Amino acid sequence: MTTVREIIAIPMGDAAGIGPEITVKSLAKEELYTMCKPLVVGDANILRKAIEVTGVNLKVRVVSSPAEGSYEFGTIDVMDLANINIEDFAPGEVSAQNGQAAFEFIKRSVELAMAGEVKAIATTPINKESLKAAKVPYIGHTEMLEDLGGAPDPLTMFQVKGMRIFFLTRHVSVAEAITQMTKERVRDYLNRCDKALQRLGVESRKLAVAGLNPHSGEGGLFGMEEVEEIKPGVELAKADGIDAYGPVPADSVFFQALNGKYDAVLSLYHDQGHIAAKMTDFHRTISITNGLPFLRTSVDHGTAFDIAWKNIASEVSMYECIKLAAEYAPKFTRESL
């Protein structure tokens, strides 16, 4: 458990979704206040409504700056943007009002982080349809943070039960992902992964690259990608001084990382790493966006309009999201990658 309590900004997300509920339910756990100083950036009236719906024993305290927060268990410190008309608020529905407000919560949180007034941001879910209805020119968090933080091509890392997973490719078809698995890209990403872990304060940085084909291609018997691109990329990274290994067969590398053999795994495509993380513990899989001027953690689920404002949404992911931000924040270095 960390002994340094840094201020963590928590933008409230889309108010019509489960964000307000899981935020107040997380902050109803006293242990979080021993780890960090949580500051909600949102709408105070919506938070009060979430407290009423969930039945948690909390009060809302409006502050005008992070420095004004008391950060004491039992009271939620909130920077109230007062940008939601409660008369027009409809839980579980797409709304331009809520889309615009969600963007403003994030924008203000980024401004605080860029100014050094908060050490990290732990984000709640936002809704793409609501953003579109508000004509917000971004489709999601990553695009907002890239622009607002001035950091193109951020690097995503998942963490669950101590296992860390990076991703070589993003939301592309498997066929397209394979074309991106060049030796130069593997080398570049291993260097970026090492730097990202260094910024998070991770001293041991033993990186494994997952194999693509069964048994990592078995020397070319089941495909040549490992032979021609992936292993040469690993060797180039090793020549750069990176403590890199692989490719290691994908059916064992994640288990090995979970049990401490590797400090992180570079997954070659989206589902390869997502399946490994979410099968380990779906609710405790937390995303960290590396490459920004500030630390950002996020839940890995959506707004869940279908169950929102019914006091049935689990706060486990949000709690773990804030907890992970609190764990890394004291060690995080702000220099750019």
- Tens digits of per-residue pLDDT, 219-275? 989 999 999 999 999 999 999 999 999 999 999 999 999 999 999 999 999 999 999
Does the pLDDT at position 318 exceed 90? Answer: yes
**Torsion sign across C-alpha atoms 201, 203, 204, 206:** positive
Would you say 122 and 325 are in contact if contact means Cβ atoms under 8 Å apart? Answer: yes
**pTM of the entire predicted model:** 0.91
Lowest mean pLDDT among 70-74, 133-137, 208-212, 219-223: 219-223
> CA-CA distance, 289 to 121, in Å (whole number)?
10
What's the rounded Cα separation, in Å, for the pair 278 and 251? 15
Cβ atoms of residues 186 and 210 within 8 Å: no
Q: Which of 244, 232, 144, 141 minimizes the C-alpha distance to 192?
A: 244
Band (pLDDT 50/70/90 cuts) for residue 206 is very high
For residue 156, the tally of other CB atoms under 10 A from its CB is 19
Kindly calculate the radius of gyration of the chain based on its CA atoms and give it in whole angstroms.
Answer: 21
Structure tokens belonging to residue 330: 């004291």
Structure tokens at 324: 């992970």
For residue 325, what is the enclosing H or E element?
Answer: helix 316-328
pLDDT surpasses 80 at 1: no
pLDDT at 336: 45
